[in-house]
Structure 1
Amino acid sequence: MDNHIHPTIFKISKKQRSEKLNQTPRLLWFTGLSGSGKSTLANAVESRLFEEGYHTYLLDGDNVRTGLNNDLGFSDEDRIENIRRISEVSKLMMDSGIIVLSAFISPFQKDRELISNLVGEDNYIEIFVDCPIEVCEARDVKGLYAKARKGLIKDFTGIDSPYEEPTNPFLHIHSDREKLNFSVDQIINAVKEKLSF
Structure 2
Amino acid sequence: MNIKENIIWHKSTVTKVDRHRLNNHRSCVLWFTGLSGSGKSTLANAIDKKLYDLSVRSYVLDGDNIRQGLNKGLGFNNDDRKENIRRIGEVSKLFVDGGMIVSTAFISPFQEDRETVRTMFNNDEFIEIYVKCPLNICETRDPKGLYKKARNGEIQHFTGIGSPYEEPDSPELVIETDKHSLKDSVNLIINYLIDCGLLCI
TM over 0.5: yes
1:165 pairs with one of 167, 177, 196: 167
Give the drift of 1:9.
Answer: 1.4
1:58 pairs with one of 57, 60, 74: 60
Amino acid at match of 2:154: L
Distance in 1 (alpha carbons) for counterparts of 2:195 and 2:100: 16
Distance in 1 (alpha carbons) for counterparts of 2:87 and 2:173: 24
Give the drift of 1:43.
Answer: 0.6
2:51 matched residue in structure 1: 49
Amino acid at match of 1:7: W
1:127 counterpart SS class: strand
- Structure 1 residue 196 corresponds to structure 2 residue 184: no
1:184 pairs with one of 163, 166, 186: 186
2:108 matched residue in structure 1: 106
Give the drift of 1:29.
Answer: 0.6
Root-mean-square deviation (CA, aligned residues, Å) is: 1.1
Give the drift of 1:145.
Answer: 0.6
Distance in 2 (alpha carbons) for counterparts of 1:48 and 1:142: 25
Contact 2:118–2:126 (8 Å) recurs in 1: yes
2:95 counterpart SS class: helix
Distance in 2 (alpha carbons) for counterparts of 1:71 and 1:192: 38
2:59 counterpart SS class: strand
TM, length-normalised to structure 2: 0.95
Give the drift of 1:121.
Answer: 2.5
2:80 matched residue in structure 1: 78
2:96 matched residue in structure 1: 94
2:5 matched residue in structure 1: 3
Query: Which runs of at least 4 in structure 1 moved beyond 3 Å after TM superposition?
Result: none
Amino acid at match of 2:156: K
Give the drift of 1:141.
Answer: 2.4
Distance in 1 (alpha carbons) for counterparts of 2:70 and 2:94: 14
Residue range with higher mean Cα deviation, 60-69 or 2-11: 2-11
1:35 matched residue in structure 2: 37
1:125 counterpart SS class: strand
Contact 1:87–1:119 (8 Å) recurs in 2: no
Distance in 2 (alpha carbons) for counterparts of 1:177 and 1:12: 43
Deviations along 1:11-40, whole A, 9 cap, x unmatched? 111111111111110111100000000000
Distance in 1 (alpha carbons) for counterparts of 2:177 and 2:199: 27
2:17 matched residue in structure 1: 15
Give the drift of 1:155.
Answer: 0.6
